[in-house]
Amino acid sequence: MTSTNETRPPAVRERHYPSDTTDAEWAVLEPLLPVPACALPTGGRPEKHPRRNVVDAIRYVNDNGCKWRAVPVDFRIPWRTVYGYFQRWRASGDLARILAELHQLVRVHDGLNPRTVAVILDSQSVKGAETVSKDTRGFDGGKLINGRKRHLAVDMRGMALAIMVTPAAPHDSIPARDQLFRLRLTHPELAIAWADSAYGGTLVDWSHSFLGITLKTVPRRKDQDGFAVLAKRWRVERAISWIMRARRNVRDYERLISHSEAHITWTFITLLVRRLTRPPRPPRTPPHAVEPLETSANKPKPIHLRKQSNTIRLAPAVLT
């Protein structure tokens, strides 16, 4: 018989929310989480709640857009504990590390190089709630939005490499310098970036001279009326639509900009983990068929072009 004072491992709850992790998703995400404090040399108390329940609670808040105090009780975790994990993993840099590792795993899963040499940049302005302070918000005169602006850098498949949130007032080319500089530090293999015309001007010369990144702009068509699918840019616009599927990202409620970036990061982590549990995505276009080698029998005859004379003929002078 076991004693009553013996500590039992916490039970994992039954999963019935759409945002809950499946067994396949948890098998991918669990090894990427930080090591518990009790397993470190410095020591610490064992964790009281299963990490899978913690991750499910964070994903529930991110996907449904509820308050932290409104975390359902069937997660069996106090809301302060869930918020504590969310804040600690963001502050320690583990959240950004998980996103970077998942990004490489998905590219290898799809048969691509784990590191990309091309990125696409774009921004999105969203309204800020009353909880957003005056110092961290601004007014976007182009979109007529008072709030914050999200700057996103994705690869050719729409997977995020860098996420940055700023007040909505500055022009896109100003925060883009900081974003490109961060990309150069974390991804030294980058060679080319595409963006809209707002990223043009002096930013093109600056990125090429100081960072060694070729920045190309994709302007709107001259006869464009309304929305139109533009080359390269549609990939980052599709990624922005993925962000808006999580209701917590529809409007910015966070007091800290770092928490806004963390919610967007959790959205992409959920997307990448689900993609790893599915079959690899096939290429968009089939490979070109190999043409047979030409033999002497069916080899076409060469075409001879008549060479024109280089002599210049002058018109006769007019007698006056």
Each residue of 222-241: pLDDT tens digit? 777 776 777 788 899 999 99
| pTM of the full structure | 0.82
d(CA 282, CA 194): 24
- The per-residue pLDDT for 51 is 93
Query: Residues 128-134: contacts with CB within 8 Å, 24+ apart?
Result: 128/168, 128/251, 128/252, 129/251, 129/252, 129/253, 131/253, 131/254, 131/255, 132/252, 132/253, 132/254, 132/255, 133/255
- The per-residue pLDDT for 42 is 83
DSSP 220: P
Name residues of the chain where pLDDT drops below 50. 1-9, 288, 290-291, 293, 319-320
Instruction: Give the DSSP H or E segment for 151.
Output: strand 145-154
- The per-residue pLDDT for 38 is 82
2 near 57, Cβ under 8 Å?
Answer: no
117 is written with which tokens? 């040499």
d(CA 199, CA 313): 52
- The per-residue pLDDT for 46 is 87
Amino acid at 102: L
Alpha helix segments (H runs only) across the chain: 23-29, 51-64, 79-91, 94-109, 173-186, 202-206, 233-245, 257-276
Backbone angles phi, psi at 313, to 5 degrees: -100, 130
d(CA 35, CA 267): 22
- The per-residue pLDDT for 82 is 96
